[in-house]
Amino acid sequence: MLSIPLNIALSISFQFEFYPLLIIIFVAFLIPIVLSVLKLDKIPGVIVEIIVGYLIGKFIVSSFTADQIQMLDFLALSGFMFLMFLGGLEIDVKEIIQTFPRRRITVNSFLKNPLLVGITFFLISLLLSYSSALFLGSFVNISNPWYFALIMVTTSVGIILPVLKGQNKLNTRFGQMVMTSAAIADIFSIILFSFTAFILKHGFQSKLLLIFALFFLFYLLYLLGHRLAKKLLVKRISYHLSHASSQIQIRGTILLILVFIVLAQYIGMEVMLLGAFLAGLLISVFMNKNRSILLLKLDGMAYGFFIPIFFIMVGVHFDDTALAHMGHSPLLFLILLFVFLYLIKVIPSLLWVRLFGLRKSIAGGVLMASRLSLIIAASKIGLDFGIITPGINAAFVLMAVVTCLISPVTYSYLNPKSLLQTDKMLIVGGSSTGVLLARRLNMHGKRAIIIEKNKKRYEEMRSKGLNTIHADGLDVSIYKKLNLRPQNYIIALTESESKNADICDLLTRDLYHSKIISRTSDSLIEQKMRQLNIEYLDITRIMATTIENLIFRPNAYHALVETFENYQIEDIQLLNKYLSGKQVKDIPFHEEGKLILIKKGSQVEIPGGDTYLQHGCMLTVMGTDSALRDFRLLCSYSKKI
């Protein structure tokens, strides 16, 4: 137990009031619960945080002292820095690099290249944004149309990413086009913001060149990171100190963020967001982000504490009275601003029409029009430097709330979630087992569709957000409607074992489908499934095996069942010829994964460091998603190590 000497403990000041922080954290805790209970999960929580923060500012904050508000503002600034850092972390640098054109550019290849289209999208948006700023200047006082245009051209990767991910379109060509355009808009906007704000505050000085020092530091740390990542000593230290009280990866990440932020502060306060963003971009280069443990910890720390404080304090400081002092027609200005914010994203989205059609392209443009953290940050910086008025700042905060509410809903209407995808799994029967399986398959990134005949149960599952179709599993037409492919798994899990057998018979004899899984505890049905070559689960045997595991190996059983969200097991065939004949200890496996079994023909062995690998053998590995992806790449590509 950690003990603190009394003299040291007494030297800590106890004069700070935690009551204001308690109110903010209580609100942050309550909001997601209320949204979940009221089934309003699709509304971004940060929008509600801003609105509730506004109410707190009206009725509660007036009782806070200046020191208490200063403490909350410091935590809010820390949350904003985390937000910029995570914004950089969300960008897949490798994906952007892979889209660099490597051959002669034609019109057709240009329109299919996400990087080139993304850059063109941003330039058109910027031109439209500047024209809109000049036009809006006739309604309100806009002292610097260029900076105003930069605020308008922002987008929100943090809103776009979960929407595309929720529709399983993130890895499609359309998803990559939208995400690349959003990432480029973020990168270019932040860079232009930093230079513009510095010049407006300090003018053209030699100190401006120091901003390039951030990029130079980024490049140096990039090279250093690539070298250190190959060092065995670094891997050992990272592994041994990543847990318990050390948490060396978290400490190192925070250190990296602060290095960039402190250097940015030395150059100018307005460059801080660029520093935090570059820190996130640097970590993104080295991180496999699919359920990386480090990313989970960072998300927990940022979204669990710092970031909610930032958005609540945005609401607290929101000055609605400033809107009334904007000019002779503030309402007309707000309407025109809203229209232009969408037009400057929808018009460039017509670049996608040739690939995706008009409706889908406009849907992508509408989604790109959602704005959140960056528009609020840029507007606040402009307000602090006197570049924009309090009224315009309030208008932009209001537009951030409105666009984040409208854009995802409008996008879903224009481009509805499609059930007719090739990468899907059909679960026939909405039993409790089927519902649990659907949720777990979704966590694997697989598209699970439940076919349920019972109307009441169908509506209940739909209300819980599960992809469900009201139909009978014995109706052949439903499988044709869902565009069933040979690679799609079908799992028969109705409450009737005889109906499960009939469904399996229908699928094999009428549709010639082979990837079918079901369950049974009846010996006659088991025999029928064997004749149909159906993969089936013997419920009695599984129950007995589970009880046996709980008696003789409880720790191993609970470790596999209860840590599903972080660790999984997968069989991967070794096809990389350069790994054949090598010993396990000579192969740089991912630090968040473990090789646990090797099957060579009919022989299965537990590998040690001296075990030799053989081409074509089956490796059973356990680890996080990022580790398993690393294992797959390592085993499938003919790449020397």
Closest by CA position to 257, among listed 377, 385, 87: 87
What number is the average pLDDT over the span 545-552?
76
Is CATH 3.40.50.720 what the domain over 424-544 is classified as, yes or no?
Answer: yes
Q: What does DSSP assign to residue 43?
A: S
Structure tokens at 278: 């570059």
Angle, CA of 467, 353 and 340, to the nearest 5°? 90
What number is the average pLDDT over the span 208-224?
85
- What distance in Å separates the CA atoms of residue 518 and residue 426, rounded to the nearest whole number? 12
Q: What pLDDT, on the 0 to 100 scale, is given for residue 248?
A: 77
Structure tokens at 459: 């509506």
Q: Is the pLDDT of residue 564 over 50?
A: no
Q: What pLDDT, on the 0 to 100 scale, is given for residue 1?
A: 45
Q: How many other CB atoms are there within 10 angstroms of residue 307's CB atom? A: 26
Split at pLDDT 50, 70, 90, the class of 218 is confident
Higher pLDDT, 432 or 618: 618
Give me the numbers of helices (H) and strands (E) for the chain, helices first please: 29, 10
Split at pLDDT 50, 70, 90, the class of 614 is confident
The dihedrals phi and psi of 60, each to the nearest 5 degrees, come to: -120, -45
Over residues 617-632, the pLDDT tens digits come to 888 888 776 677 778 8
What contacts 77, CB < 8 A, 6 or more positions away? 310
Closest by CA position to 599, among listed 614, 581, 584, 577: 614
Q: How far is residue 604 from each of residues 235, 516, 579, measured CA to CA in Å?
A: 29, 27, 18
The domain ranges of the chain are: 6-414, 424-544, 566-636
Q: Is the pLDDT of residue 343 over 90?
A: yes
Q: What pLDDT, on the 0 to 100 scale, is given for residue 291?
A: 45
Which SS3 state, helix, strand or coil, does residue 341 take? helix
Q: Is the pLDDT of residue 420 over 60?
A: no
Run of H or E including 449: strand 447-452
Cα-to-chain-centroid distance, residue 124: 27
Contact 513, 449 (CB under 8 A): no
Cα-to-chain-centroid distance, residue 544: 40
Structure tokens at 163: 């929407």
Q: Is the pLDDT of residue 10 over 70?
A: no
What number is the average pLDDT over the span 351-371?
89
Contact 569, 560 (CB under 8 A): yes
- What distance in Å separates the CA atoms of residue 457 and residue 427, rounded to the nearest whole number? 14
Structure tokens at 551: 């008696």
Split at pLDDT 50, 70, 90, the class of 129 is very high
- Which residue is listed with tokens 């349920």? 452
Contact 278, 214 (CB under 8 A): yes
Q: What pLDDT, on the 0 to 100 scale, is given for residue 284?
A: 82
Give the right CATH number for 566-636 from 3.30.70.1450, 2.60.60.20, 2.40.30.10, 3.40.50.300.
Answer: 3.30.70.1450
- What distance in Å separates the CA atoms of residue 270 and residue 555, rounded to the nearest whole number? 52
Sheet of strand 424-428: strand arrangement: 468-470, 447-452, 424-428, 489-492, 516-520, 535-538
The CATH fold of domain 6-414: Na+/H+ antiporter like fold (1.20.1530)
Split at pLDDT 50, 70, 90, the class of 350 is very high
